[in-house]
Amino acid sequence: MRKTTRDPACLSRTLLPRSSSGALEISFGWLFAIVAGIFIIALAIYFSSKIVGTQQEVSSAETATELGTLLDPLETSFESAQTSSVTLSAESRIHNSCDLTGSFGQQIIQIDQKSLNKWTKTDVDVEFSNKYIFSESEIEGKKFYIFSKQFKFPFKIADLIYMTSSADIYCFVDAPAEIKEEISNLNQSNLLTENCSSTDIDICFDSSNCDVNVDYTNGIVEKNGSVMYISGVEDYKALMYAAIFSNKETYECQVERLMMRLKELSEIYADKNSKITGRGCSTNFADSFTGLIDSLSLYSSSEDLSIIKTEMENMDEKNNAGVCMLW
């Protein structure tokens, strides 16, 4: 029997028809299959990226919420500063902002996290009405240090929370003894009072040649060409740290939120004063509360703190001299 072999060229002509001119012809069925395949692959890639993006947004929102929850133990009734650290699961950028809506305004946290060596930006805001976080508008890292102090004006207004990245080293140069002692007691590794290096962020007191310049006597902090005013009835430290670790926009917004809270608390104390007057208690606060609340209604920036401070000091003297103390 004679065995025949098929020429490869002949086979090619059989499977892939060509035109009379020799050009390759593809049937409509083949063309549709190719286009449909490309479309399906593109859709799969698109929806996969959307799912991954959504999961990362959910993860960032959960991280921001967890961070807010982790701050709760720092809100304390004790006088001394409380400190802690937070290590996140991935390299993160924490965006800190606030707004002035509502009676107390809102603390807003947004977190971007690094995934596959790329930053995934999310637009998910997590809001808190009872937190006051002072930091730069954006801080980056995996480990963050946090400490808090009471802000009393003269009664407690809120706990102020200061947040920094472990990558940012702050050096307090020639700080007053009480501040140096407090920094030492915090035992926070990115806050130094000695053995500083040239790459540290230096904070000087009563000087003008540092990254941050603090005029502790007059209650002024100068940073990046901006001036922030600090004040307090007992001391300046609570707002001083707030100004040191914040940018001006964040500082001014958060302090205005504190004044909003002070206004609400003043109205509560004014109501308490009216209820105890004539019940064995001699008070003289009515006009003082009216003047204070009017001043707070006109508050526009931290420069107005000195006016409010004077009124609060007068009220504190009346409270301490009274038969029945309001706070």
Task: Choose between 142 and 20: higher pLDDT.
Answer: 142
Q: Is residue 23 part of a domain?
A: no
Over residues 237-248, mean pLDDT:
96
308 lies in some domain: yes
The pLDDT of residue 13 is: 47
Q: Say which amino acid occupies 78.
A: F
CB 263 within 8 A of CB 296: yes
Q: How far apart are CA 299 and CA 307, in angstroms?
A: 10
Least confident stretch, 70-79, 144-153, 248-257: 70-79
Q: What is the pLDDT of residue 51?
A: 46
- Angle at the Cα of 159 from the Cα atoms of 152 and 266, rounded to 5 degrees: 45
Using the predicted structure, report yes or no on whether residue 11 has a pLDDT greater than 50. no
Instruction: Establish if 84 belongs to a structural domain.
Output: no
Amino acid in position 172:
F
Q: Report if residue 191 sits inside a domain.
A: no
**Where in the sequence is the domain holding 309, given as residue range(s)?**
256-321
The per-residue pLDDT for 6 is 52
- The answer to whether residue 307 sits within a structural domain is yes
Specify if 14 maps to a domain: no
Mean pLDDT computed over every residue of the chain: 81
Locus of tokens 């090619």: 12
Q: What is the pLDDT of residues 158-199, one digit of tens each?
A: 999 999 999 999 999 989 999 999 999 999 999 999 989 999
Q: What is the DSSP string of 5-29?
A: ---HHHHHHHHS-B-TTS-B---HH
Q: Do 313 and 233 contact (CB within 8 A), yes or no?
A: yes
Q: What is the pLDDT of residues 20-47, one digit of tens each?
A: 555 555 566 666 566 666 666 665 555 4
In a domain, 311, yes or no: yes
**Which stretch of DSSP H or E encloses residue 76?**
none
Q: Residue written as tokens 């940018």?
A: 247
| pTM, full prediction | 0.78
Q: Is residue 237 part of a domain?
A: no
Torsion over CA: 171, 175, 179, 182 (sign): positive
For residue 236, give the 3-state DSSP assignment.
Answer: coil
Cβ-based burial of 215 (10 A; exposed 0-12, middle 13-18, buried ≥19): middle
Work out how many domains the chain is built from and give that number: 1
